[in-house]
Structure 1
Amino acid sequence: MASQRNIIIGTAGHVDHGKSELIKALTGVQTDRLKEEQQRGISIDLGFAAFDLPNGDHAGVIDVPGHEKFINNMLAGIGGIDLVLLVIDCNEGVMPQTHEHLQILNLLQIPQGIIVMTKVDLADEEWIDIVEEEVREEVAGTFLEKAPMCRVSSITKQGIPQLIDAVVDAVKDLPQRDSDGPMRLPIDRHFSVAGFGTVVTGTLLTGQVSVGDTVEVLPPGEKVRIRDVQVHGKKQLTAQCGQRVALNLAGLERDVLQRGCVISTPGIFEQTSRIDARLTLLDDAPRPIKFRDPVHFHLGTARVVGLVALLDRDELQPGESALVQIHLDKPMVAHRQDRFIIRSYSPVTTIGGGLVIDPGPEKHKRFRPEVMKAIEELESGESSFLLQKLTELQCARVKDLEQLSGMGRERITSHLEQLAQEGKVYLLSDQWLPASLVRAFEGQLVDLVTQGHDDKPLLPGTLHATLKSRLPKRLSPKAFDALLTRTPLQRVGEWVQSEGFQPNPTDTQRQDLERIEEAYRAAGVQAKGRRDMLDRLGFSEEQLEDYLGYLFFNGRLIKLTEDTFFHHSSYRLAVEKLVAYFADNQSLTLGEYRDLLGSARKPVQALLEHFDDLKYTMRKDDARQAWKLPSQEHLASL
């Protein structure tokens, strides 16, 4: 059975054509949340609803406003969707915003779409047939040319089951989103909640985000922690890409945020004031674009003013495509392969769109063949392609890139080695990574260890396994260890710490540590679970964890399991008795060893399983046999 997927469905269409009512009929949710929306009967801002499909997929439905005055809000919500419902009132047919929304969807290359004829209960079938023919003419030559068309009434529910079936069919072949990519969430709403602080919402385009994660807010470029994660109003520990997400940001004031900000994995994305792009002007654009013409530039949820620098011509005619550099009046987050929309400066109407090729280029001089060649290579060159795939995958072996590119291994290796010489990629053991990501990971590891020292100063550092778990799963253990060697961190056993760090207990903490050690020394081989041992000492769970970690790291306690510790003198006695027993016997049962030590079953079982892990013993049926028992020299060092 296929795994459940997260699908984003968006609506589009002219004002008052029934988008909000359609979503309510599908999901039972009223997406007009603002008082003025409910009073006027039209959507002003974005609305959202959850929708579980019959095939098990989870959908988030975005209701975008259709009124021309609120087209900016529509653009903020339509990016990143998998399927669009183009909603048309069968009584009115194609209207101005129907046409403009269709152009926007086509420029953004939305993967799938369904045409929904609404309010069929208010029109006769012959009239609906005429309107349907008009709609087919309108969508000819667009991605909706062969899209299914559903006739529905949100009031009577006529056609709603058939529409749901069409949605399931339309999304069945959509690929699973990659949750291992860098996390990226463009903000489309932000507000404050009493007692909780700043909350942002948006569509999680890539990666995943969990409670406790440190993320970067661009702009302004601040790092904050995620206090709470919600998906469609329900608390979750982790949100996956393809979901509508609300994040509670700790320690960030709402007034530094705006629609267009991006929440992301720290160190991956950067703000830019110019981009290189492939720009296409619509066939019905009212006039050509001239050099440095101002336009309204929309990318993700952001809207800025851009000046279009034509690099190889003086005018871009309607219907034409060209490589351009767009200079932005405010910094924003853009990434290679992002799609954008441009609208004329005045009067404001959609005139074109395109694809980001380079989100951080140098300022170019015009009519320079070498400039055009470099941008074209970045757009379609093999090295640029490999670099882009590495950025998407985050880390990859040559065989992974071979499968993706169709190029031979020698050719791929040659490109990667050249990129390495240019400082754009690194080889970490058995995997290649983009240089920017390696630097981000290095900073992330240092931040995590530093934060660990601040949060738990008694511990020797952060567990190696914990650090590994905070980076992408596909990063191999060997590559992770190679990454650690690039940082100023040092590994001590299973811990990773800042160079030269030493836990330094206070006088009070030292007294507490001595009490705990004495309790374990006195208990000997009869030491019970840590909670039973220490309840009477009055420590909190957090203190308990830190104290045991300190004593374990310094060798004063031996950790058998998460719950069972022995004082090092008791542990040495247990090992000595084990070695002495096997000098005269071939096998040892749990009961025999319990009687030999004079202990209880639970700690003895923990000891024997610990000895199995060390390969001192080997379990066979219900007994142990000697395997690699410690030498007398080793016993003396315990």
Structure 2
Amino acid sequence: LLVIAADDGVMPQTREHLAVLELLGVARGAVALTKIDRVSATRLHEVQVEVTRLLAPTALGGAPMFMINATAAQDPGTDSLRRYLHAAAMGRDVTGTCAVACCSPAGNADGLLRLAVDRVFTLAGLGTLVTGTVFSGCVRTGDTVAVMPANKPSRVRSIHTQNRASEAGYAGQRCALNLVGIDRDEVARGDWVADQRALVPTTRVDVRLGLLADCAHRVAAWTPLHIHIGTAHRVAHSVLLESEHLSAGQSGRVQLVFDAAICAVPGDRFVARDAQATRTVGGGVVLDPRAPARKRRSIERLKYLAALEQMVAGEGMGPVLQESPLGLKMTDLVRLSGKPPERVPVPPEALTIEAGHDRVVVLPAHWRAARERAVAALRTFHEHTPDEPGPDIGRLRRIAQPDMSDALWRTLIDELVVECLILRSGPWLHLPGHAVTLSEADQALALRLQPLIASGRFDPPWVRELAAAVHEPEERVRQVLRKQVTRGSVYQVVHDLFYDSQRVGELAEVAATLAGERGELNAAQYRDAIGLGRKRTIQILEFFDRVGYTRRVRDSHVLRKDSGWLAARRDSSG
């Protein structure tokens, strides 16, 4: 409802209020011309013409205009406005939407609950009460909710909607909630009472920011802005993602870095004011409420933001999934859409994959590409290291798809193993054609070599010493041992030095014990523990780095948490 005094006419603040309505995406409304008793009929007509011209190019063009004389006991204009507002309110109740809630794609009855808190108080015998507008979803007596961004759980004891006791409150309604389990000082204006699945606290939000045509300010790197979103008022600094600056009338993608945590959903509208908070400079729409601090200007990132803009415009999750080659967790899709899992607008062709405790939604083309990358990476590994049995599952992930979650990667590998596109030999993964068989003569020689290697424990004989002991040529011994490496019976630590697999498992156990809770060890500690010289100790640690059991960090070796190597060694020894 745009209120304009007839004796003043259109004022600068009127234009600012209209600009704010446009920035918030409000497409329905009415005009109330007040104080008509203070002006002549000629002046009233002039103001009507002025207002009509002002509204014509906006979304409120053609909005009904009501002449209000508040001094009259039964003013017909006031009665007409009251009837109009009542009819509009009844229409909102039927559809479950309103002008404010429609600013967000989640602003409807089938979304997750989000109530923007604008007032907090206490009443004797009741405790903490909050009032606000339900942006989306529904709240019922007895519901468990979260006060965000503090993420404080609470329970709804009772509800008042439109000043009446009620069992439920719906999108678009004004509600008062009596909250149990939360103190008055744990919730404030600007907070959200929400379904816990809907929101995650954040200090970085990627947005589409537009500046007003008459804006006298230019937004550049780290320009401070006062941001009004929901009922929150926060200070943020601007990081432009596509240009060096924004001037009057321009718009662009910007990352807002807030001084304190906020919560938002893609599609939420906001208003931006200058550093002194004295003038509205623009506003826009939230794209990604969980924006990254790194690679925020990369081509892939900008494509993803473009897909989010398509989603906000009503094109569903298809564009977003198209720009997500690793898929998206269902929990992320819920937060992006503001809807419960069963109502997320996922394309019918999308795959839903169980990955540990998560469900990941991915397009079939992306899943096929990930499978192909895994097989191709394993093929390349065999080509470069034909004497190794293959990588373990964690090492292959780091080679082929380091950005994929461990749970999703294991699901992918399990699928390939079931289809026999990849085979498992103990902890090792290999292609079917990489399996090695030994001739009877080779098997006989391997049986003679194995105890000699094992007897050396942590300091086994070199190939030349083994060849002399079994009276065979060095090259033949070397070839048989390389085949045994592929079978997982021995490991080649350095050229011509092979360790028994059980002894390597013992060496790994020693490393794990030394690493302890810190998860790291150095060469000096390890040398003293295994009783070898420094050179051999470093060779063993470098071997562990190579097979993915540890990784070198300056002068230390850190145990990899995603390596199945030690567990597999324990299983084989058990």
Question: Is 2:265–2:336's contact at 8 Å kept on the other side of the alignment?
Answer: no
Deviation at 1:231, TM superposition (A): 1.8
Are 1:196 and 2:96 matched, yes or no? no
Query: Are the equivalent residues in 2 in contact too, given 1:115–1:148 (CA < 8 A)?
Result: yes
List alignment gaps of at least 5 residues for structure 1.
1-84, 403-411, 428-638
What residue number does 1:176 align with? 96
Q: 2:198 touches 2:334 (CA, 8 Å); kept in 1?
A: no
Give runs of aligned pairs for residues 298-447 of structure 1, distance below 5 A: 298-346=228-276, 348-365=278-295, 367-380=297-310, 382-384=317-319, 387=333, 391-396=337-342, 412-417=347-352, 425=360
Please name the residue that 1:88 is paired with. Answer: 4
Letter in 1 for 2:240: L
SS in 2 for 1:283: coil
Residues 102/261 of structure 1: CA separation in 2 closer, same or farther (3 Å cut)? same
Amino acid at match of 2:65: M
Paired residue for 1:137? 53
1:222 aligns with 2:138: no
- C-alpha distance in 1, partners of 2:320/2:90? 28
Contact 1:420 1:426 in 2 (8 A): no
Deviations 1:206-245 (A, max 9, x none): 2222222211111321111112211233222222222111
Find out whether 1:158 has 2:76 as its counterpart.
yes
CA apart distance, 1:122: 2.0
2:193 matches 1:274: no
Q: Deviations over 1:544-563 (max 9, x none)?
A: xxxxxxxxxxxxxxxxxxxx
Aligned to 1:99: 15
Q: Deviations over 1:515-558 (max 9, x none)?
A: xxxxxxxxxxxxxxxxxxxxxxxxxxxxxxxxxxxxxxxxxxxx
State how far apart, in whole Å, the 2-side matches of 1:133 and 1:299 are. Answer: 33
Q: In the aligned structure 2, how far is the partner of 1:99 from the partner of 1:339?
A: 19
Cα distance in 2 between the residues matched to 1:238 and 1:290: 45
Distance 1:142 1:339 in 2: 17
In 1, are the aligned partners of 2:354 and 2:360 still within 8 Å (CA)? yes
- Matched residue SS, 1:93: coil
Q: Give 1:389 shift.
A: 10
Question: In 1, are the aligned partners of 2:114 and 2:135 still within 8 Å (CA)?
Answer: yes
Displacement of 1:274 after TM fit? 0.8
Matched, 1:147 2:63: yes
Contact 1:204 1:245 in 2 (8 A): yes
One-letter code aligned to 1:154: A
- Whether 2:43 is the aligned partner of 1:127: answer yes
Deviation at 1:367, TM superposition (A): 4.8
Q: Is the Cα contact below 8 Å between 2:209 and 2:254 reproduced in 1?
A: yes
Note closer, same or farther for the CA distance 1:131–1:185 as it changes in structure 2 (3 Å cut).
same
* Cα distance in 1 between the residues matched to 2:342 and 2:197: 19
Matching residue of 1:563: none
Instruction: In structure 2, give the amino acid aligned to 1:322.
Output: G
Give deviations 1:138-160, integer Å, cap 9, x for gaps. Answer: 32322122212111212211312
Check conservation: 2:149, 2:200, Cα contact below 8 A.
no
Between the aligned partners of 2:242 and 2:187, the Cα distance in structure 1 is 38
Letter in 2 for 1:176: G
Between 1:363-372 and 1:332-341, the stretch displaced more is 363-372
Residues 46-77 of structure 1: per-residue CA shift (max 9 Å, x gap): xxxxxxxxxxxxxxxxxxxxxxxxxxxxxxxx
Structure 1 residues 299 and 422: alpha-carbon distance in aligned structure 2, compared to 1, 3 A threshold = farther
The two structures have a TM-score, normalised by structure 2, of: 0.54
Secondary structure of the equivalent of 2:205? strand
Tell which structure's C-alpha radius of gyration is larger: 2
Structure 1 residue 259: deviation in Å?
Answer: 0.8
Moved more, 371-380 or 385-394: 385-394
Moved more, 163-172 or 123-132: 163-172
Which residue of 236, 242, 246 corresponds with 2:172? 242
Percent sequence identity over aligned pairs: 35
Residues 334, 340 of structure 2: 8 Å contact kept: no
The question of whether the paired residues in 2 share the 8 Å contact of 1:181 and 1:393 is answered with yes
Separation in structure 2 between the aligned mates of residue 364 and residue 422 of structure 1, nearest angstrom: 27
**SS of equivalent residue, structure 1 residue 318:** coil
CA RMSD of aligned residues (A): 2.9
Task: Measure the CA separation in 2 of the matches of 1:234 and 1:171.
Answer: 15
| Structure 1 residues 191 and 94: CA distance shift in structure 2, 3 A | same
Alpha-carbon distance in structure 1 between the residues aligned to 2:58 and 2:194: 33
TM-score between the two structures when normalised by the length of structure 1:
0.48
| C-alpha distance after superposition, 1:183-211 (max 9, x if no partner) | 11110000111221111000112222222
CA drift at 1:137: 2.9
**2-structure distance, mates of 1:129, 1:144:** 19
Residue 245 and residue 169 in structure 1: after superposition, are their counterparts in 2 closer, same or farther (change >3 A)?
Answer: closer
C-alpha deviation, 1:426, in angstroms: 6.1
d(CA) in 1 for partners of 2:118 and 2:135? Answer: 13
The aligned counterpart of 2:467 is: none
Counterpart of 1:103, as a letter, is A
User: What's the counterpart of residue 111 of structure 1?
Assistant: 27
Change (3 A) 1:128 1:301: same
* C-alpha displacement of 1:255: 1.3
1:416: how far off?
4.4
CA distance 1:237–1:368, change in 2 (3 Å): closer
On the 8 A contact 2:240/2:255 being kept in 1, the answer is yes
Preserved contact between residue 312 and residue 366 of structure 1 (Cα < 8 Å): no
Equivalent-residue separation in structure 2 for 1:357 and 1:159 (angstroms): 42
Report the alpha carbon displacement of residue 293 of structure 1 after superposing the two structures with TM: 0.2
Kept in 1, the 8 Å contact 2:199–2:335? The answer is no
The answer for the alignment partner of 1:287 in structure 2 is 217
Alpha-carbon shift at residue 266 of structure 1 (Å): 2.4
Q: Deviations over 1:347-374 (max 9, x none)?
A: 6210111111111121144653332222
Please, which of 211, 219, 239 is the counterpart of residue 141 of structure 2?
211
Alignment length, in residue pairs? 332
CA contact (8 A) 1:208 1:241 kept: yes
* Residues 1:347 and 1:206: Cα distance change in structure 2 (over 3 Å): closer
Task: Report how far residue 346 of structure 1 moved.
Answer: 2.3
* CA pair 327-347 structure 1, distance change in 2 beyond 3 A: closer
Query: 3-state SS of the aligned residue for 2:207?
Result: strand
Quick check: 1:274–1:326 contact (8 Å CA) kept in 2?
Answer: yes
Within 2, Cα distance between the matches of 1:162 and 1:176?
Answer: 24
* Equivalent AA in structure 2 for residue 321 of structure 1: S
What is the CA distance between 1:424 and its match in structure 2? 6.2
In 2, Cα distance between the equivalents of 1:420 and 1:235?
A: 44
Deviation of 1:94 after TM superposition, in Å, equals 1.4
* Superposed displacement of residue 384, structure 1: 4.6
